[in-house]
Amino acid sequence: MGVTRKSIEATLDLLWSGLGRPRRGPRHQLTVQRLVEAAMTVAEEDGVEALSMRRVAARLGVGTATLYTYVPDKAALLALMVDEMVGQATPPHTRPGGWRERVEAWAREDLASFRAHPWLVEMTSGPYVGPNGFAWMDSALRALDGTGLPEEEAYAVVGAVDGLVRGHVGRVVEADRAGRWTSPDGESFASVQEGYLARWIEPGRHPAIERMDAPPPTPEEVFERALAWLLDGVERRISEIRDQ
């Protein structure tokens, strides 16, 4: 079907002003809040791939079609779930310490939150901005108050860190998932795959990888180093501004 102006407006209405009580006819027997909670429970228990309108409806004990009186479509439900999760994050500017401690703490909390709720990964680059997302952005900008960064550069820092987290989350979560998998004989995914690599790789064709003797850093370690380097760069920029 695709996105229509109507579905966009309905979704934004829901995000920003919620659902009014009907002027006539029977009252709602549910609330949007309960719907979102039920959807999050399903995602939590059985993963995103199991999150279907039918399952949410079943959990609430209503007919499937009923959901569509609360929510224009599934995409809107996902947007509400995301905004709900964002609302539970600690506002970055309230954290203790200097700008760098604040940013590091928020980035790590973000990563941890994605790890704990992997369903978030697959649904957080949507175009909708809800009230909680908006408030979070403001708080993140305020976490950089006092650095002397011009506004558009502070915005870029927030975006840069956010992008870094999002990019690394995929690998971390994937590693968690693959780490959980084991064959009936107890072999891990990694060891099965390594068997193939060993069998098929021609010696000498991959000198840089062959040179590595230690096991490569885990996705989480890579993330930590990436964050440190990125913030080193930002720090340099901040002192450049200060000294000028």
* Token pair recorded at residue 134: 């908006």
What is the spatial distance between Cα 36 and Cα 123, in angstroms, rounded to a whole number? 14
Crossing angle of helices 32-46/74-87, nearest 10°?
90
Q: How far is the CB of 27 from its own copies (least distance, A)?
A: 25
Q: How far is the CB of 127 from DNA (least distance, A)?
A: 16
CA 198 to chain centre: 35
* HSE toward the beta carbon, residue 167, CA cutoff 13 A: 11
- The answer to the question of residue 212 lying near its own copies (CB under 8 A) is yes
Sole binder of its own copies in the list 74, 108, 128, 148 (CB under 8 A)? 128
- The answer to the question of residue 68 lying near DNA (CB under 7 A) is yes
Residue 206 DSSP class: -
- The answer to the question of residue 32 lying near DNA (CB under 7 A) is no
- The answer to the question of residue 126 lying near its own copies (CB under 8 A) is yes
Q: Judged by CB under 8 A, which stretch of 51-59, 75-83, 105-113, 132-140 contacts its own copies?
A: 132-140
* Token pair recorded at residue 144: 């950089």
Q: Which is nearer to its own copies, 70 or 223 (CB)?
A: 223
Residue 216 binding partner per list DNA, its own copies, none, with a CB distance cut-off of 5 to 8 Å that depends on partner kind: its own copies
Q: Which is nearer to DNA, 79 or 143 (CB)?
A: 79
Residue 241 binding partner per list its own copies, DNA, none, with a CB distance cut-off of 5 to 8 Å that depends on partner kind: none
Q: Give CA separation, 239 vs 93, 105, 154, 236, in Å.
A: 21, 21, 14, 5
